[in-house]
Amino acid sequence: MAKRKKFILEDGCPSEGEKIPRKVQVEVFEHPSGALAIKPRGYGDYCSTRNYGIPIFLEVWEGRLQLVVCPDINVESPTLIDMEGAKEENRKGGENG
């Protein structure tokens, strides 16, 4: 079984008056498909049983890096974000080029 790593994400911009900043436990691991699975506790996806869903994947699909996100647990189709435009080799001149 692939190694799993757990993180605690803290609210980087807590609401004014909030006594305790919100924290979310996130588990990251290699999915059997080869994708990097990102599983925040208490979040899931449309097709999975409660507490077993994985709403975020980072994968290579047909040679392209993509982020697969399920932003709404009541919608079956995930959102696919093609990351190829973020390649460093695509950077155009300017201050950081």
CB 56 within 8 A of CB 68: yes
How do residues 23-48 score in pLDDT, each as one tens digit?
999 999 999 999 999 999 999 999 99
| Alpha carbon distance 75, 12 (integer Å) | 28
At residue 83, the pLDDT reads: 98
- Mean pLDDT, residues 89-94: 86
Length of the chain counted residue by residue = 97
Please say whether the beta carbons of 20 and 26 come within 8 A: no
pLDDT bin (cut points 50, 70, 90) of residue 81 is very high
| pLDDT mean over 48-55 | 95
Sign of the four-CA dihedral 85, 87, 93, 97: positive
- What confidence category does residue 82 fall into, taking pLDDT thresholds of 50, 70 and 90? very high
